[in-house]
Structure formats: structure tokens, C-alpha cells
Structure 1
């Protein structure tokens, strides 16, 4: 018997070395497919959000995607495996085209990266590209790639050019971010001033117009959008399309013109059938990944065709300062190297300036080359676009003649002064305003389709005309605490506790309870958002966690901690007995949990207690408060304890939702320029979802007039304890404009 890896004669036994190769091919195909799916999701998302510059969210250049790319190009870097058939040779080419597609598709993603991440990712991508180019050159020399050598040579040129464009474009990200941040702060102050000066509009109209201004600023200053509309991104789109066309040309020749143009070798690769799977997968990935670069290029060409008659070639080929500003600043900065010898310091400084001068020259050349590519593309495509425009105008003319009369378009808000742009983009202002002026209406209407109908129905039962008096009733000061310490209240925990009590009451219709759960579930979504936004220091984090833990058990299992609420409601006891049992259970569990978590409860303030301790304390106090007023409620004709609990729940939710305007405002002031656009979009959707609620609240006056008071439930309770705290009267339409209601709270936080 021979040694491991050897035959009986002692020679190397390599018969099984190639057996795993087809599975390696499948591994390559899976990596390519993952990239294709991520690029497809970004493309679909761009179409859905009407962002035809296609921002990158799911497929960006990072450690994960770079690893996938390294796996996906395995066939192109394989130096010594024979690839005789046309599928094998095409798979080699498709891997090279695939990386070109990835670079062109993911270029905007560098806009959301920090300097350190950009440098690391560019270096990693550069290592992959250079390794791929070197390996392809070796294979062309050894004959592993024996056909499509012209296509490979062209793809290598495109690959290196895309890498250079990507590297130098990414170097401008930090400076453009800083520049746009300064412009945003200036425009923001202008928008705030305009908000203060506007009067006589209802709350929804004001919010909608204010959000339109903030959206325009956030969208046009989005780093991905800035990168996506740049001239270098347009050039990369052209190069990506050319690489995809090269692959298509090679496949066309291979499958349809093979007998006429060339002849492939006979034999089978070690990868066997898996090369066909890789070829199909990577061809799909190239097709999907080329959509975004193609649209970016086409939109730039379409705009250039519109303005071609209004701009001279001198203006077209002017180098904007921001392209080289950072390199110029680096030249002016001294070296941080500690060199004691004066001559060596001088030589090092001169070498640094020489390198930076070369980089400035390359950056200038790349920008001019990109502008030339855009200009050539404009001339090639302009005739087709003009023909399409003539057809559209002819169709529009015939329709207008058939209709007989034209309706006047409704006036739109002029947002041009809120469009943030860089040097050389002044002519894009009108286009960006035109393409995005209706974006807020689009997102608001999408939000309106998801209005919380159950919550709105619940809020109609609140004592809104009396200033949500249930906020001051759910927890009585006459109840002595179980021990000397008492945690503060948050909005969510009382709602969850009151709902748990309501679900435990006997003789309540199941459909009514189901409706209540739906309403509270919808309400808690907004309560959590409000509390998370306004509790910036996280003082109530543990109390909010307690509410989440309790509601999870109530919603899914009808359990408050380990008490079965459904079983409790079927025991045949009256409401008072149910309340006493819940109170006793809460007290017992409080004492039990205090013993378990004693080391935490002694060290921390009450607001930092464990979730179960806080939940038990809340149940004890609320059940005791309801028991204290049970007899007086019982004497009220036609008003059951269940109805009283529902009114309390509705009042707490309604009082909490008075903070919605402040939350919407805070979303517009996201400090991160990378996440500002998404934050404003969420604010617009939130406005659409809560529009009816805001109108409902706008018709009333409330006891808490300070934003800080309105944000805290304990402040509401404190005001309600005062004697005649506020005349909670309905505000009529006649004196609506003179009343100090929510309409006068502007969309700003100072």
C-alpha cells in the first residue's frame, strides 16, 4: 500500500485533485449570484423611490462585497487550469467584465463612507483589479486564454481606467460633504425664518410645505446623489456599458458566428459543467448591474441635450475647484514626519509636492476626459432624443386639440432656492427642482395609505376637550409606594399595564378586546418613536424596555409576566376581585424580583431597575388607583370599568401624540449628512400616516404649552393636579388663528 497521495510505485497520485473543481465553480456562481441579487434589489429600490441615479444601499464596496468579488473572479485568476471550450473562454471573459460592472454600479456608495473607509476599500479593490490584470496577462502569454484576446485587452484597459476614475472621484468626497454641509446650515436658517413668518395656514399645509423645503435640501445634498450626478460617474457609466457590450459581442460571435470567425479547442475543463453555470450567472449579473450606470449616463446625456445650445465649450471644459481643492490643501500642509536634517526635510517636502502635482494633473485629466466622453455621447444620442421629443410634442398637440380646453396647472411652491449644488451645477438647479418637487407628495400619499385606522378610532373616545384628563387619573398620589423609592413614568408602560388590566376583565366581548389590542399595537409604534426621539439621554430606557417585555407577553400569549389574563377573565369573578388579584400578584412579584435583583436595585436609581421590577410596580400602583375610585365609577350609570380603562388608554396615547410635530421636526435635523435624506423621507411618511391625528389634535388646546412639558407624562400629571390648570375649551373656527394651539409651534427645534 502506497503512502497518502502516492500510488504503489511511490509516484504522485493526482487523479483525485480535480474532482472538487465543479463544486468550486458552483461556489463562484453562488458568489456572483449574491452580488447580482444585491444589485437587482438596489435597482428595484431606485425605480420604486423614483431615484433614477440609483443609490447603493444593499450593494456597496465593503469587506463583505470585496470578499464576494474575490470569489467571483476565481476563473479569471486561475493560471494553470485548461479552459478549452467556448463556455470556458467566455467564463474567463465574463469574470473580467463582472468586476467592471461592479465598479461602475457601486461608485455612488463611496459618498457615504468616511475617509479611512474610502482609502481602505480603494486599496483592497485596487489589489483585486491589479491581481486580475496581471493574471490575465500571464494567461494570454501561456495560452490558457487563447481566444478573445482583443476583448480581454480592452476589458483590462477599461478596468484600470474605472479604478483610476473611482479612486480620484472618491478623493473629493470629504471636501464636497463639508461644502454642502455649510450650504445646508445656511439654507436651513433661511427655511426656519420663512417658517416663522408664515401665518394663517393649517398645521398640515405648513408641515407639508416645510417638509418640501427640507426634503429638497436633504436630497440635493445627499453624498450619493452628488457622486451619482458627477461627470466622472457619467463616464464610468459609459465604460460599464462598453464592457457589457464587449461581453455581448463575444457571446454573439461564439454562439452564432463560430464556424466563420474562429474555432475552439476540443476537450473538457476540470470545472466541467460548472463553467456554464458561472457564465449564465455572471452574464445575468452584468446585465442587472449595467442598468444603474446606463440610467445615470442617459439622464446626464438627456440634460446635456437640453442645455447644449445655452453653454459654450469654454464653460463645458472649465475645471471646477472642488475637484482639486483637497489636493491643493494637502500641498500647503507640512509633513508630519519627524526628520531632523533640514535638507532631508526639504527633499521630502519637494517629493510630496511632486507627487501631489502629478495627482492634480491626473485628476484634471480624468475630469476633462469624462467631460469629453459626455460631450461625445451627447452628440451621438442628441438626434434620437430630439426625434423622441418631436413625437411627444406632436402627441401632446393632438390631445390638446381633441380636449378643446386646457386646465390651468395648480401653482407649485418655488423650491429653487433650497436646491444645494456645487460649482458648475447651477444649470442643474431647475432640473433637480422639477424632478423632486413632487417627491414629498408622493411619500405623503404612500404614508396616508398606511394610516393607523384602529388607533384613530380609539382616539375618538378620548377626553380631548378636557385636556386628556385620563393622564392625571391612572396613577393616584394617594397610593403609598411598596417601598420608599418610586420610578418615574413613561408613556408606554401605563398604556401596556392598563391594556393588560382591560384584557383580564370579565364579560367583555372578544371582538372588542381584539379591537383594543389592534389599537394599542398601532399606538405603541408611535409612542416608541416619540419616546426614543425625545428621550435623548436615555433616562427612561429601562422603563421603555419593561413596556416592550410586558406587551410581547400580552400580545402573543395573553400573559402579564406569568399571569394568564384570559384564564383570569373566565374565573367568574367581578371586576373588583380581578383588580385585587392583579394588585396582589404585582406586589408579590415586585417583592420577589426585588430580592433577586437586590444588588442592582440598591445601586441604581429607580429608573434603572430591571424591567420586571418596573412592570410589577406599575401594575400595583395602577390597580390600586383604580380600586380607590372603583365605587365612584360603579355608581356612574352606563359607564363600566372597562370603558373607563379604554378612555384612560386613549387619553395617554392622545397626550403622547401631541409630540408628533416635534418628532417630525427632529427627523429633519439629522446631524449626519449621509442619513439626512432617509430621515426626512421618514418624516414625510410619518406626516402622511398621522395626518388625520394631527388635524384632530390641532382643534384643541392643551394644558402643557412648553415642548419639554408635552414630552413628559409626569409633567402632564403635575399640571392636572393643579386646581383649574387650564380652560380646556373647544377652539372654534372663528378664533382658530388667534388661539395658542399647535398651529403656532413651528417646524423647528432651537
Structure 2
């Protein structure tokens, strides 16, 4: 085209090409303008992962658990999603020529991924087979995708740049090598988790049986010290048998920690080189600033901090395992040190011996498939043995090194490589090391470490002591026996139904409390003190002072006498029960076990009110209030005699996930009730069967058999005795 075409609105080919180039450039500029915000998104995902790893580290230090359980950062869908976002740079192909900041950020991302894997490795402990399979598959896909993308990117650079430039990409090769090695160690650890868990569980059940037999041989009479030792036994079993702790002590987890240490050192070296050789690197790279612009520095900062924060927990696991190993240096032969236990390969062996899941009709094809499967599994078994052997070697070399420089580094973890030193200061009167659950061939935990574990129980007990129910303790101190258990009910009161509903501990306590606060001429503070003393109250009584929509405060404010109030409560209760029985059409409701709660409560109010009315002439209001308070105390005391059994049963749990939490609750409960247990320990308990002592009806049957069938005393001698004990012994409890 000539110039005349330009005046007519036509353009030459060169001009058209230039226009298209300008258009493409503007589009690219618009797209690149969003890259800093994508960089911030990457930095934010990295920051969340870093904070979660930091929280786990802080939690471990705070609780002196130097194996750092995964409480906040574990292998799950959320953490994998965040890591996928954080890996945006290594899989980004938008730039072939990278600047120094981009190269360092890509390197930090690769190291960040390896560090994350080492951190949440112990979270595998509590996963079942399906969870492990799903999460591991997702992790493998993510890591392999990143590695493949980096390899493709490196190949592109090889085709574009000369060989001298490729030397600058060696760091990325080292980084993906570390990542692949971390993934292999991670996969190796997953294969041992199910077998380890089964082995530890069988040892736990065996030690539980031994502890139970020891408790039975020591007799049924409980003491607070015996309960404290019992809880410590179960805490040691639960803590050392925790799947996370077992995995953290493994040689593969130790090797993973050492890999993290090397990664952190390598990343520091890379940052130092960029700091001092920036101009040289920039000339070799032949590139301009990053398309991520200012956000690349945020990515660098968050991932650099994340690598170092995330290195702390794996490094401590490695260091702690090596410190444990120090105590056994020289005690085993070389062959024993590198023996590969069955749990390393048992899962693979089981798969190898299992029939093929696929149904192949042709015999030849079936044989070929079977042979291929066995070949692959044999290869996997060989790799697993190699990983375990190398990990054992790494741990042995680490332990030997720490043994030589132990005094310079031992203060980091409260564990000594010197056996005599680790045993010094140990309580010789209490040795629970035999309750430590270990895998076959595993290093014995130092006694000082075990002592630190069981000392956790003392801390939990102290926490419980700060929550002691002081009001209840003062109320229980008013009780000298368990007579109230037999006095609140009597066969002299006719039943409203042919069958009486079953009793429970809370029912008479709440009923007696309602009657006590409804009595006239009783100061409100004394009624409130009684309510605060009784832990088991219904919401209507506690908040509104109501029973069955009857305002208890109005009853004693209407000028009615004690007898009139008792009669009114009895009449209301009787009418409630009788109305229910008249309206009852369902044959199922004939059984008192199926009665509504309000009807059972009304029946209890009727019976107890009638029992008190039988002896009403023998009481004054103040004396009756004191007597009712003592009856409540007697019932609560009898109920709480089952506390040792409750603490014992709570210490043991069949679910491995709930075990530590249950023992923790048992220890806190022991601290809360220690003073109550000491009060009950001074009493002579009835010779009830341990299986029956938890039921109030068994108590009533035993006391009636032992003492006849007494009711509230009616004779003046009995009354004067009770009034002399109760009149000046009002329940004055502090809030």
C-alpha cells in the first residue's frame, strides 16, 4: 500500500502490526496491574500457615510438650488449600526470565512447603485409614504438581539461556530435592501409623489390666493419695501412648526435623548471598523488576518467617529424640541398632499377601497382574527398609554428636544425655516408668522426662483446687453420718400409685431444698446459702424460687405456718399426681419409669412433705430448717462416696482420641473434690457392694436392713438431741 491509502483511512502492514502490539501491551499492562494483589493473597495464605505453626510451637512450649502436638496446623483440607495458594509462585509460568526477588521468593515457597510437611506429620497419629489415604493423596498431588512445574520451568530456561546461566538455578533443584525427600519420609511415616496404633493400644489394655489388679489388691478403702497415684498412672499411659507422641518419637520424624534444619540454613545462605551479591545476580539474570512488584517483598517476608517459625517444632522433635537416644549409646550392638522392626513394613506385607481386589478371568493375565503387584510391593518394602535404616543412622549420628557436646546444648530440652544426671532428683518413692508405652525397639524415655509427664497431673489438680465448691464443703461438714438417706422416705406414707417411681440422688435433694426455703421465719440469706451449697438444683428453684409454678417465697410471706405450707405443698403435689393418673390413657405410662419428670417430682414432694408432717409436732421452724439441711448434707455425702469410682472410671477410656482429655478431667475433678474426699475418708462407710454404692435405693435398703425402718424422730428425747445439735449449728456458708 502507498501513502495515498493512509489518507483514505487504510494502514500499512507495519502500522497495523504496531497497533496490535500496542493493544496487546495495554491488555498485558492491565493484567499485570492485578499481580500485586495476587501477591498479597499469596502472602496472606502463607501468613495464616505461619501463624498456625507458631501457635503449635507456643502451645508446645507452654505445656512443656517438646514433641509439639498439631493442635492448630494439621494435615487437612484447610491447610492443603492454604498451601496450594502459597505455592502460586513455583507453578507460575507467566515469566521465564526471573529477577532476584522472584528467584528467592520461588525458593522460599519450595522450602515453605517442605517445612509445612514436617510440621503436620504428627497429625497423622489420630487419623483413621480413610483419612490418611485421602489427605495423603491430596498432599502427594500438590507436591508432585509443584515439582513437575519447577522442572518444566527449569527446562525452559535451559533452552533459552546458555549453560552458565543454568548454574543459577541449582538452588531450585536443591529445593525440590528437599521437597521430594520430605514427601518420601512423610509417606514412609504414614505406613507405620496404623500398625503402631494397634500395638500401643494392646499395650495400653495390658497395663490397664495390671493397674486394675493392683488397685483391687490394695483394697477397696480409698485415699486421696491412692487416687492421685492412680490418675498419674493413667496419665503416663495416655501421654506416652498418644499416637502423636509415638509418631514424634519415630526415627522418620527425627529425620524430617533434621531436613528442616538444613532447609533453614540453606535459605539463610540464599538470602545472605542476595544481600551481598545483588548486583552480580541482577546482571546474570538479565531481567527487570518482578511483575508482582511491591507484593513480592511481602511474600518473601511471610514465607521466610514461616520457614523459621516452622523449623522450631521439627528441630525440637529431632533434638529431643536424639537426647533420648543418648541414654542408650553403647548399650546395643550394631546389629540391634539397625534392626528394622516389623511395624515398619507390616502394612506393606499385609497388602502383598492380600488377594487381588480385581477379578481377572484369564489365568495368565491374573498371574501377570499378581506378579507385577508383588514386584511393586517388594520394591516399596525395600524402599521402606532403606528409609528406616537411614533414619536410624541419622538419629544415631545425631545422638553421638550431642553426647560429645551435650553440656553446651542440654539446657534447650530438659533432658540429659548423662544417665546419672537424668536420674538425679527423681522421686524414689514413686516410679511409674513401667507404665510408659513404647514401641518395639524404641528408646526408653529418661526418668526425668517421665517425671515431667506425671507432674502434669499435679498441675491439673492444682487447677481443680482453685475451683473447689466451698459452699458444698461447708454443708458436708455439718453431716456426721448418712441417716438422712433413710429419713427422707418411709413406708408409713401411703403411695399414690401401686408402683413407686425409682429414686435418684438429686430428687430428694431438690425436694428438701424447696421445702427448706419455703419455711416461714427463715432469713433469706440462710435460704440463699443453702441453695449455693447444693450443686444439684432445678432451674426454676435456683432462678425463680418456684416449684411446679408455685412461688416458694410467697408461701412464706403470706403469714402461713410451717404446717400449712407443708400441707399446701403436699396437696398440690398429690393433686398433680392424681390428675395425671386419672387422665392417663396410655398403658405404657402405667410404668412409673415412663412418667414425666414433673410427675415424679410431685410424687417425691408428696411423700417427703407427708413424712415431715408425721413428725411436725416435734419441730420448731428453725429446728426443722437445720434438720432438713443436715438431711441434704447426709444425702449428698452418701452420693459423693462414689467419687473415687467416678475418678477411676474417668481415668480410663477406650477411645484413644478421648483418652488424654478424660484423664485430664479426672485430675481436675480430683483437685475439685480433694477436700470432700478427705472429709468422707474419715467416715466409716457402709459395707455395700462397690457396684451398688452409686444407687440411693441400695443405700436405703442397706440402712433399713441395718437399722430397721426409722423415720423422722417423733419422741421428745430424739427431738431435743437433734435440736441441740442443729439449733446452734446453722449453715453459714460463704459465696
Aligned partners of 2:207 and 2:435 also within 8 Å? yes
Deviation at 1:486, TM superposition (A): 5.7
Q: Indicate the residue corresponding to 1:46 in structure 2.
A: 60
User: Among residues 207, 220, 230, which one is paired with 1:210 in the alignment?
Assistant: 230
Deviation at 1:24, TM superposition (A): 5.3
Sort the Cα spacing of 1:349 and 1:250 in 2 relative to 1 into closer, same or farther, 3 A: same
Q: Indicate the residue corresponding to 1:340 in structure 2.
A: 361
Deviation at 1:359, TM superposition (A): 0.9
Give the whole-Å Cα distance in 2 for the aligned partners of 1:37 and 1:562.
53
Q: Indicate the residue corresponding to 1:226 in structure 2.
A: 246
Q: Indicate the residue corresponding to 1:419 in structure 2.
A: 436
**1:666 and 2:653 equivalent?**
no
Residue correspondence of structure 1 range 282-301 to structure 2 within 5 A: 282-301=303-322
User: Among residues 135, 155, 158, which one is paired with 1:121 in the alignment?
Assistant: 135
Gaps in structure 2 of 5+ consecutive residues: 1-22, 415-423, 711-735
Give the whole-Å Cα distance in 2 for the aligned partners of 1:127 and 1:599.
65
Sort the Cα spacing of 1:340 and 1:260 in 2 relative to 1 into closer, same or farther, 3 A: closer
**1:235 and 2:255 equivalent?**
yes
Q: Indicate the residue corresponding to 2:14 in structure 1.
A: none
> SS in structure 2 opposite 1:172?
helix
Give the whole-Å Cα distance in 1 for the aligned partners of 2:666 and 2:363.
58
Write out per-residue CA displacement over residues 133-181 of structure 1, whole angstroms, 9 at most, x where no aligned residue. 2333445556799998444333322222222211121111222222223
User: Among residues 462, 477, 483, which one is paired with 1:460 in the alignment?
Assistant: 477
Aligned partners of 1:83 and 1:269 also within 8 Å? no
Deviation at 1:203, TM superposition (A): 1.6
Q: Indicate the residue corresponding to 2:420 in structure 1.
A: none
Sort the Cα spacing of 1:97 and 1:342 in 2 relative to 1 into closer, same or farther, 3 A: same
Deviation at 1:388, TM superposition (A): 5.5
**1:185 and 2:205 equivalent?**
yes
Q: Indicate the residue corresponding to 1:534 in structure 2.
A: none
TM-score, reference length from structure 1: 0.76
Give the whole-Å Cα distance in 2 for the aligned partners of 1:84 and 1:562.
79
> SS in structure 1 opposite 2:65?
coil
**1:160 and 2:180 equivalent?**
yes
Sort the Cα spacing of 1:636 and 1:152 in 2 relative to 1 into closer, same or farther, 3 A: farther
Write out per-residue CA displacement over residues 194-227 of structure 1, whole angstroms, 9 at most, x where no aligned residue. 3344469962232233333333333332222211
Aligned partners of 1:253 and 1:261 also within 8 Å? no
Write out per-residue CA displacement over residues 524-578 of structure 1, whole angstroms, 9 at most, x where no aligned residue. 5xxxxxxxxxxxxxxxxxxxxxx7xx43x55566666766666776666655566
Give the whole-Å Cα distance in 1 for the aligned partners of 2:643 and 2:685.
14
Q: Indicate the residue corresponding to 2:696 in structure 1.
A: 713
> SS in structure 2 opposite 1:292?
helix
Give the whole-Å Cα distance in 2 for the aligned partners of 1:242 and 1:291.
12
Give the whole-Å Cα distance in 2 for the aligned partners of 1:58 and 1:599.
56
Aligned partners of 1:33 and 1:285 also within 8 Å? yes
Deviation at 1:107, TM superposition (A): 1.5
Q: Indicate the residue corresponding to 1:687 in structure 2.
A: 670
Write out per-residue CA displacement over residues 674-702 of structure 1, whole angstroms, 9 at most, x where no aligned residue. 43343334333332332222222222234
Deviation at 1:297, TM superposition (A): 0.9
Q: Which of 585-594 and 283-292 deviates more?
A: 585-594
Aligned partners of 2:647 and 2:669 also within 8 Å? yes
Sort the Cα spacing of 1:557 and 1:288 in 2 relative to 1 into closer, same or farther, 3 A: farther
Aligned partners of 2:222 and 2:644 also within 8 Å? no
> SS in structure 1 opposite 2:66?
coil
Q: Indicate the residue corresponding to 1:60 in structure 2.
A: 74
Residue correspondence of structure 1 range 147-546 to structure 2 within 5 A: 149-198=169-218, 203-254=223-274, 258-259=278-279, 261-262=281-282, 266-267=288-289, 269=291, 275-387=296-408, 411-425=428-442, 427-428=444-445, 433=450, 435-436=452-453, 438-462=455-479, 464-465=480-481, 467=482, 469-474=483-488, 487-499=501-513, 502=516, 508-509=522-523, 511-521=525-535, 524=536
Q: Indicate the residue corresponding to 1:741 in structure 2.
A: none
Sort the Cα spacing of 1:19 and 1:353 in 2 relative to 1 into closer, same or farther, 3 A: same
Q: Indicate the residue corresponding to 1:696 in structure 2.
A: 679
Sort the Cα spacing of 1:196 and 1:702 in 2 relative to 1 into closer, same or farther, 3 A: closer
Residue correspondence of structure 1 range 521-670 to structure 2 within 5 A: 521=535, 524=536, 550-551=538-539, 555=542, 607=593, 613-615=596-598, 617-619=600-602, 621-622=604-605, 625-626=608-609, 628-630=611-613, 632=615, 635-637=618-620, 639-670=622-653
Deviation at 1:719, TM superposition (A): 3.5
Aligned partners of 2:569 and 2:609 also within 8 Å? no
Deviation at 1:658, TM superposition (A): 1.3
**1:678 and 2:699 equivalent?**
no
Q: Indicate the residue corresponding to 1:106 in structure 2.
A: 120
Deviation at 1:504, TM superposition (A): 5.5
Give the whole-Å Cα distance in 2 for the aligned partners of 1:495 and 1:95.
64
Sort the Cα spacing of 1:261 and 1:28 in 2 relative to 1 into closer, same or farther, 3 A: closer
Give the whole-Å Cα distance in 1 for the aligned partners of 2:333 and 2:311.
31
Give the whole-Å Cα distance in 1 for the aligned partners of 2:430 and 2:709.
38
Write out per-residue CA displacement over residues 286-309 of structure 1, whole angstroms, 9 at most, x where no aligned residue. 343322212111112223344334
Deviation at 1:382, TM superposition (A): 4.1
Deviation at 1:642, TM superposition (A): 3.9
Count matched residues. 672
Write out per-residue CA displacement over residues 353-409 of structure 1, whole angstroms, 9 at most, x where no aligned residue. 11111111110111122123223434554443244579999xxxxxxxxxxxxx997
Deviation at 1:673, TM superposition (A): 3.3
Aligned partners of 2:46 and 2:82 also within 8 Å? yes
Give the whole-Å Cα distance in 2 for the aligned partners of 1:322 and 1:512.
65
Gaps in structure 1 of 5+ consecutive residues: 1-8, 394-406, 525-546, 728-750
Aligned partners of 1:91 and 1:275 also within 8 Å? yes
Q: Indicate the structure (1 or 2) with the bigger Cα radius of gyration.
A: 2
Sort the Cα spacing of 1:184 and 1:381 in 2 relative to 1 into closer, same or farther, 3 A: closer
> SS in structure 2 opposite 1:324?
helix
Deviation at 1:39, TM superposition (A): 3.4
